[in-house]
């Protein structure tokens, strides 16, 4: 059986996933294109990475027209949840307020963001 693919991944892998998340099935060339511009990575680097990611169950490919078309197997949502929860557990004792408190102290937060946060809380409260 397919084991749960670890949401944990490196930087390049995440960048690749992001490409796949918004340009759903994509060829190696397309992924390379989407990243390569600024990153200056070789085509083969992307191809190798995609193959490794397929081994880990993060993506899958099918062949079309003699070239591989890759597709994400894990959703952005799962990965985000995984990584966010990970930080939460590893550093903030699983407490969302602890995390938020830290972040409010250490970064700029616009009034609009505060509004949105407040709205989110209120909403959650209502949903309870």
Contact predicate 2/78, CB 8 Å: no
Question: Which entry of DNA, its own copies, none binds 67, CB below 5 to 8 A by partner kind?
Answer: DNA
Q: Angle, to 10 degrees, between the axis of helix 96-106 and the axis of helix 76-92?
A: 90
Residue 13 neighbours by CB distance under 10 Å: 18
String of b and e for 37-63 (b: at least 16 CB within 10 Å)?
eeeebeeeebbebbeebeeeebbebee
Q: Does 12 bind DNA (CB under 7 A)?
A: yes
Q: Does 7 bind DNA (CB under 7 A)?
A: no
How many residues can be counted in the chain? 128
Q: Does 63 bind its own copies (CB under 8 A)?
A: no
**Contact with DNA (CB under 7 A): which of 19, 20, 26, 28?**
28
- Nearest approach in angstroms of CB 65 to its own copies is 33
- Nearest approach in angstroms of CB 108 to DNA is 27
Which parts of 48-107 interact with DNA (CB under 7 A)? Answer: 48-49, 51-52, 56, 66-68
Both tokens of 36, joined, read: 């390569």
Question: Which entry of its own copies, DNA, none binds 41, CB below 5 to 8 A by partner kind?
Answer: DNA
Q: Does 25 bind DNA (CB under 7 A)?
A: no
Q: Does 41 bind DNA (CB under 7 A)?
A: yes
């Amino acid at each position: 059986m397919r084991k749960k693919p670890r949401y944990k991944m490196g930087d390049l892998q995440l960048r690749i996933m992001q490409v796949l998340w918004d340009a759903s099935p994509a060829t190696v060339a397309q992924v390379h294109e989407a990243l390569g511009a600024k990153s200056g990575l070789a085509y083969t680097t992307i191809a190798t990475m995609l193959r490794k990611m397929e081994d880990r169950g993060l993506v899958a490919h099918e062949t079309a027209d003699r070239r591989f078309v890759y597709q994400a197997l894990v959703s952005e949502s799962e990965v985000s949840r995984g990584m966010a929860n990970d930080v939460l557990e590893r550093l903030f004792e699983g407490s969302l307020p602890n995390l938020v408190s830290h972040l409010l102290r250490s970064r700029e937060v616009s009034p609009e963001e505060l509004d949105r946060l407040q709205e989110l809380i209120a909403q959650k409260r209502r949903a309870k």
